[in-house]
Amino acid sequence: MIVMKTDATEEDIQRVIAEVEGSGLRAVVIRGEYMSVIGPVGDERRLDFDKVATLPGVKEAARVEAPYKLIGKEYARFLGEPGAHKRVSIGKIHIGNGEPVIIAGPCAVESKQQIVRMAEEVKKAGAHILRGGIFKPRSSVHSFQGVGAGSAQDAEEALSWLKEAGDAFDLPIVTEVRGEAMVDMVAKYVDIMHIGARNMYDQDLLVQVAQKGKPVLLKRHFGASVEELLSFSEYIAAEGNKDIILCERGIVPVGKGKSYTRYTLDLAAIPVVHRETYLPIIVDPSHATGRRDLIFDMSCASISAGADGLMIESHYNPAEALVDGPQMVTPDELKDIIDACKTLYRTKKELGRTSRA
Amino acid sequence: MIVMKTDATEEDIQRVIAEVEGSGLRAVVIRGEYMSVIGPVGDERRLDFDKVATLPGVKEAARVEAPYKLIGKEYARFLGEPGAHKRVSIGKIHIGNGEPVIIAGPCAVESKQQIVRMAEEVKKAGAHILRGGIFKPRSSVHSFQGVGAGSAQDAEEALSWLKEAGDAFDLPIVTEVRGEAMVDMVAKYVDIMHIGARNMYDQDLLVQVAQKGKPVLLKRHFGASVEELLSFSEYIAAEGNKDIILCERGIVPVGKGKSYTRYTLDLAAIPVVHRETYLPIIVDPSHATGRRDLIFDMSCASISAGADGLMIESHYNPAEALVDGPQMVTPDELKDIIDACKTLYRTKKELGRTSRA
Amino acid sequence: MIVMKTDATEEDIQRVIAEVEGSGLRAVVIRGEYMSVIGPVGDERRLDFDKVATLPGVKEAARVEAPYKLIGKEYARFLGEPGAHKRVSIGKIHIGNGEPVIIAGPCAVESKQQIVRMAEEVKKAGAHILRGGIFKPRSSVHSFQGVGAGSAQDAEEALSWLKEAGDAFDLPIVTEVRGEAMVDMVAKYVDIMHIGARNMYDQDLLVQVAQKGKPVLLKRHFGASVEELLSFSEYIAAEGNKDIILCERGIVPVGKGKSYTRYTLDLAAIPVVHRETYLPIIVDPSHATGRRDLIFDMSCASISAGADGLMIESHYNPAEALVDGPQMVTPDELKDIIDACKTLYRTKKELGRTSRA
Amino acid sequence: MIVMKTDATEEDIQRVIAEVEGSGLRAVVIRGEYMSVIGPVGDERRLDFDKVATLPGVKEAARVEAPYKLIGKEYARFLGEPGAHKRVSIGKIHIGNGEPVIIAGPCAVESKQQIVRMAEEVKKAGAHILRGGIFKPRSSVHSFQGVGAGSAQDAEEALSWLKEAGDAFDLPIVTEVRGEAMVDMVAKYVDIMHIGARNMYDQDLLVQVAQKGKPVLLKRHFGASVEELLSFSEYIAAEGNKDIILCERGIVPVGKGKSYTRYTLDLAAIPVVHRETYLPIIVDPSHATGRRDLIFDMSCASISAGADGLMIESHYNPAEALVDGPQMVTPDELKDIIDACKTLYRTKKELGRTSRA
């Protein structure tokens, strides 16, 4: 929609119409008693709204359509392909439109011994996929950056530990790709490529990861709206890779004083994403809250809101973990959480309502 | 804690010590290799940290203790009165530490006929308390302000309709007190006095409402941290009224672009409040999301996060409602929501974990 | 504009048209290849967009016009009354479209002696209006609430001190009205009635203060957009009182970690307000930064951005102030600031550009 | 500082002391009447506060020192090297502690002809450094991504245009490095390497850019606090590259409704950065406001707040620009802005106060 200023002249209006038509769209003009509005009809992607906004007499120029199409339900309905709900499959594990899938493991891979032991523990607790960070994005350069941060050789060794641990217990593996330099190497080892919240806006990384053709786990940036999360996941889809798993992990808290959690978990993003797209969405209560004592409740809430899965950090000895100890649950707690989530999922399902529109 | 600057002099340190001791506290000095820290020991309320922060050589001066005491668990433990979990009772209805309590009704009272009919509907759907707005806080002066906004007489008449509707179906009633002028009149009619999100920071209103001695429903401001919500509820407790029901109703969304909800519901606030205080906390998914199609999922999520109740807007004909039609559910939908919430509450309870610390 | 869903039926479209026409407006329909848009033509205030949004097949329904009219430039141009820039006059002092006006004084009135001495000091420093808080809105109930908080008698005595101080040095006075109960009494004494940031959303207070017919200083809430500030100032204008002075005093900081200021000063709000309305806007760098060492720079920046004035807290002995010592400048510093601001104002004026559109 | 819970046991306290001492620091214990606090004395970087926070009985564990040291004034004072204020030099141009430096040019390089013409225009207007984007970070994959986005060859050609344009008019050049793949190539051509706001958190990119040894322009992320901006600039300094120019470009707006600007410019960040570090900080009013009509006022405000320079987008024909037309000023407007800024800088300097502490 292009809204003209109250004092726009007829010449201003004609100039806008010319621009719209010059882009191959039709221009419908609504002449109000107070101001005029021009509606471009056709493929909005062909019109440069930014340019239109600079024309004389224009008050506002904004798209009506969503900035994402390939992943959107509305576009699929328009194409006559409403289809079944999308699920992302990793071997025999399916994320989306079914039982919640649990990704678990330590925040950071610390040693071969540690990750193998954790693989065993999370398997026993009922998790489906193993996680473990090799390159840790940290706020301070003076903090531990992950065992893979030293050299490509260190990184490859750590990746091989993670893979060995996954293989030993029949668990697909996922790890974060922090920079473009590591895309190829990580793709060789993992089953799901994880793009962290801080990198959500990094289009080059998104494109390169997408091109590997493996499922991509994309976390929402802590300052991003849901619309931005969807817009940036479109960068992956545009490479022909629609195996995208979104992840809500909390946004920056508001207000003065303490929020008592690291971030604010936005669980309404779950049904919103289900209504807007076919993509599955999981929740990471560990990073969102930063507090072990809140993981159980927030996991239950996530599943009841319709989450397709959870990503939970666990360590056999949280107090010895090199990174993020305060937010890691023990394997026993993990089992409790997984059991509760399965029960709540089934209870809600029996109520005859799914979170999908 | 009072942190001194790196280049603070011995004289600066002595001046701070004098200030701390002059306020009747003891000063413990930690001389670091890099900077010094002074810890005041005693009742922190007696020390003016703002004043200390202005003294030469002082980098930061901040309390260690929470700004709320009367409602806090830590203070109760200190007093040796950990007590049972607090519940707020309205007749035979108890909010807190038990089955979820449902407050339901239209956003705005529109007529006697409408509120009586809605009382019947919400009672049938299983709700426990009837709500209905008489003074509506609106962003635009040109919007409908509520049937009670015209005159004191209009307001009293609308209150009497609400009371009659509640009495007819044995439902306690709650309505928002928008300004101080209405405190006395509202207190005469309602069972719970509701302070809206926009008024959370209005201490005078908090104090005057508290003095009426009736249970108070205090909504979190959409720009307030949890700590602020608790700090301001302390204004009520300080009047000797601890019958406080907190309500999470969403905070301002972050980021550019659409959030697809009016506000961002912060469900982690529920277990946080349960860990910090004895107060019950309920959730208002109607105002938080502003979307009828999200109320079911977000109600389920709230209860699974441990909410002590819900406040849901309902109307027999949302499209005809004078205010907030898009977020109102029909009585049939309300019944579905209440049934689902009861089931999920019991399922979670059987898991042997409560959200209370 | 009313945007229909991709799969809206013809019946859905007709229902919306009926609603628009039933409200006395004309409906222009744009049938896109992908979705339809309906543009209501006429006085948008007559159409209930909230209700339209609930109709089947409607994706979005939003006004095109601003929610404020009486204070808006666009509406004035529409009415053919572009007029001169508005200035608010208090005796011989004019705020808006001229030399910056300086409001100064202590955060809180503490005693007659203190406020009289401060009146003398700020007069000597070059300030035009005297400020002093009598009712202090504080986050903690356990903090000092202002000398007027004890009783109506205390409040009236403090008001009389403030008035006496102003009269003695020929300075108009301004103080914050924290609650409705004090509106009448404050109006008897002061020249400008100040509504604090925490009360910006309190329509009842706005209306009551507006009705006193005195100039109103309305501070932007720290969680409010500029549009909300303007929407709420319309509550004052709707009472026939257009003597409104807006005040930018900072919004909540974003992000994890320290901002090093209490709030984030949004100086772009100044030219934005000048382009949207005729109202003058001043800046309060004291509350915005909370730091004495930043007041000079931020005052200079405010004036260079086009601010019509400043509100600065000053105390002859900041370390002894009962409230907000860390942000108060001494009278000598105040003089430096005022002198610098006058010089910068004139320098910019000579550049031949005003901040007004 | 490590704050213990009210009910922490003596054993809990001893465990914390052991942890502190085991890390090579000294532990000072303050036993309050209500709770105990333990202060670690020594190099805080050796203690893992995250781990301490997981120990039983610990309520909070937080560093007292800033997360940045190498760029901090306090650390320099501690080392006895308070030094002169830092300036970053690019040939004969010095940024910091002197006349404001103006970086100008189009948002995006579009063609050789366009950038050469713009170089001539900005030189005539009085700018010191030429900017032009070759890889544009965009929210939608369907928008123009910059002339260099097609292939490495396209990118190198565009870089050569930019360099040629700079050389022809004796202007150093700066361009954004969007991904790691382009670091080497960009470093070959430009004088200043620019890291965009969306990439501020991308440590790998920061490290790789830093290693090139050229001055780095680091923009603040729109969701980052000032502390985070400084923390992440430490990643550059830790590589031995202290030629860091910070850039304030606005943070996400707060509140419901319109802000009327793209982002919120936080000008208080300027004096804050000057007080905390030796680094120069410039302002980008173009991206911050997104509105051509606000650039003049916000440039004046930035310089008056003490900014060391500005980065302004300019195009000879904003309506034809491929990206961000609405925010670009014409070369004539640019000249007005530069002239005004120089005048205001000198006026403020003559007032005898600098924004530096």
What pLDDT is attached to residue A81? 66
Cβ–Cβ under 8 Å, residues C238 and C270: no
A2-61 folds as: Alpha-Beta Plaits (3.30.70)
B-chain CB neighbours of D261 within 8 Å are: none
Tokens of D203: 């440590």
Region B170-198 average pLDDT: 95
A235 touches chain D (CB under 8 A): yes
Which one-letter amino acid corresponds to residue A146?
G
Res. A336: pLDDT tops 80: yes
For B2, what's the count of Cα atoms within 13 Å in the CB-facing half-sphere? 32
Contacts of C126 (CB under 8 A, 6+ apart): C102, C334, C335, C338, C339, C342
CA distance linking residue C37 with residue B84, whole number of Å: 58
Which one-letter amino acid corresponds to residue D32?
G
Region A301-319 average pLDDT: 94
Q: 3-state DSSP call for residue D204?
A: helix
CA distance linking residue D54 with residue D49, whole number of Å: 9
- Residue written as token pair 């900081």: C253
Distance from CA of C42 to the nearest CA of A (A): 6
CB contact under 8 A, A264 and B272: no
Nearest to C215 by CA among C190, C196, C179, C238: C190
Percent of chain B at pLDDT > 90 equals 60
For D330, what's the count of Cα atoms within 13 Å in the CB-facing half-sphere? 7
Contacts of A11 (CB under 8 A, 6+ apart): none
B259 touches chain A (CB under 8 A): yes
C333 touches chain D (CB under 8 A): no
Best residue in B41, B44, B65, B259 for a mutation probing chain D (most D CBs within 10 Å): B41
Which residues in chain C show pLDDT less than 50?
Answer: 357
C-chain CB neighbours of A78 within 8 Å are: 6, 34
Nearest to A49 by CA among A28, A25, A20, A15: A20
Region B308-334 average pLDDT: 87
Contacts of C266 (CB under 8 A, 6+ apart): C226, C248, C250, C251, D264, D265, D266
Q: What is the pLDDT of residues B32-86, one digit of tens each?
A: 766 788 888 877 778 888 778 878 888 888 877 777 888 888 777 766 666 555 7
Contacting subunits of B (3+ beta carbon pairs below 8 A): A, C, D
Q: What is the pLDDT of residues B151-180, one digit of tens each?
A: 889 999 999 999 999 999 999 999 999 888
Q: 3-state DSSP call for residue B297?
A: helix
D319 touches chain C (CB under 8 A): no
CB contact under 8 A, A351 and B340: yes
Distance from CA of A74 to the nearest CA of C (A): 6
Tokens of D314: 């300019």
CB contact under 8 A, A289 and B268: yes
What pLDDT is attached to residue A342? 97
Contacting subunits of A (3+ beta carbon pairs below 8 A): B, C, D
Cβ–Cβ under 8 Å, residues C276 and D260: yes
Q: What is the pLDDT of residues A57-92, one digit of tens each?
A: 888 888 777 778 888 887 777 666 665 557 899 999
Q: What is the pLDDT of residues B7-40, one digit of tens each?
A: 889 999 999 999 999 888 888 887 776 678 888 8
User: Which residue of D lies nearest to C336 if distances are taken between CA atoms?
Assistant: D351
Distance from CA of C63 to the nearest CA of A (A): 11
Average pLDDT, chain A: 89
Res. B276: pLDDT tops 70: yes
Q: Count residue pairs from C and D with Cβ separation < 8 A.
A: 168
Q: Count residue pairs from B and C with Cβ separation < 8 A.
A: 121
CA distance linking residue A208 with residue A194, whole number of Å: 12
- For helices D269-276 and D226-237, what crossing angle results, to 10°? 40
What pLDDT is attached to residue B218? 98
Distance from CA of D351 to the nearest CA of C (A): 7
C240 touches chain B (CB under 8 A): no
Nearest to B17 by CA among B62, B59, B45, B47: B47
- CA B241 from chain centre, in angstroms, equals 14
C-chain CB neighbours of D293 within 8 Å are: 271, 275, 357
- Spell out the CATH class of D88-350: alpha beta
CB contact under 8 A, B298 and A353: no
A33 CB neighbour count, 10 Å cutoff: 11
Q: What is the pLDDT of residues A207-245, one digit of tens each?
A: 999 999 999 999 999 989 999 999 999 999 999 999 999
B296 touches chain A (CB under 8 A): yes
Which one-letter amino acid corresponds to residue A239?
E
Same CATH topology for A2-61 and A88-350? Answer: no
CB contact under 8 A, B203 and C141: yes
| Rg of the Cα atoms in chain B | 23
Res. A337: pLDDT tops 80: yes
Backbone angles phi, psi at D101, to 5 degrees: -100, 130
Percent of chain C at pLDDT > 70 equals 95
Nearest to B252 among D7, D33, D256 (CB): D256
Tell me how far CA of residue D246 lies from CA of B231, B315, D2, D217, in angstroms: 37, 54, 33, 6
Which one-letter amino acid corresponds to residue C91?
G
D223 touches chain A (CB under 8 A): yes
The DSSP code sequence of A226-293 is HHHHHHHHHHHHTTT---EEEEE--BPPPSSS--SSSSB-BTTHHHHHHHHBS--EEE-HHHHH--HH
User: Which residue of B lies nearest to D76 if distances are taken between CA atoms?
Assistant: B6
D305 touches chain C (CB under 8 A): yes
Tokens of B100: 């979820």
- Residue written as token pair 């209560």: A285
A351 touches chain D (CB under 8 A): no
CB contact under 8 A, A260 and B351: no
C-chain CB neighbours of B138 within 8 Å are: 203
- The conformation of residue D91, written as its DSSP 8-state character, comes to T
Tokens of D294: 């606000």
Range list of β-strands (E), A62-100 = 88-90, 93-95
Nearest to D37 among B6, B64, B139 (CB): B64
Distance from CA of D42 to the nearest CA of B (A): 6
Tell me how far CA of residue A95 lies from CA of A100, A169, A186, A278, in angstroms: 7, 19, 21, 12
Which residues in chain D show pLDDT less than 50?
Answer: 357
Nearest to B30 among D28, D77, D139 (CB): D28
Distance from CA of C117 to the nearest CA of D (A): 27
CB contact under 8 A, B42 and D33: yes
C235 touches chain B (CB under 8 A): yes
pLDDT band at B353 (very low <50, low <70, confident <90, very high): low
User: Which residue of B lies nearest to D42 if distances are taken between CA atoms?
Assistant: B33
What pLDDT is attached to residue C357? 45
CB contact under 8 A, B179 and C204: yes
User: Which residue of C lies nearest to A75 if distances are taken between CA atoms?
Assistant: C6
CA distance linking residue B335 with residue B339, whole number of Å: 6
Which one-letter amino acid corresponds to residue A102?
I
Tokens of B209: 């409402």
CA distance linking residue B151 with residue B181, whole number of Å: 11
Tokens of A276: 């807007």
Nearest to A319 among D51, D142, D179 (CB): D51
Q: What is the pLDDT of residues C233-282, one digit of tens each?
A: 999 999 999 999 999 999 988 887 788 999 999 999 999 999 999 899 99
Q: In what order do the strands lie in the sheet with B2-4?
A: B26-31, B36-41, B2-4, B58-61
Domain residue limits, chain D: 2-61, 88-350
B162 CB neighbour count, 10 Å cutoff: 28
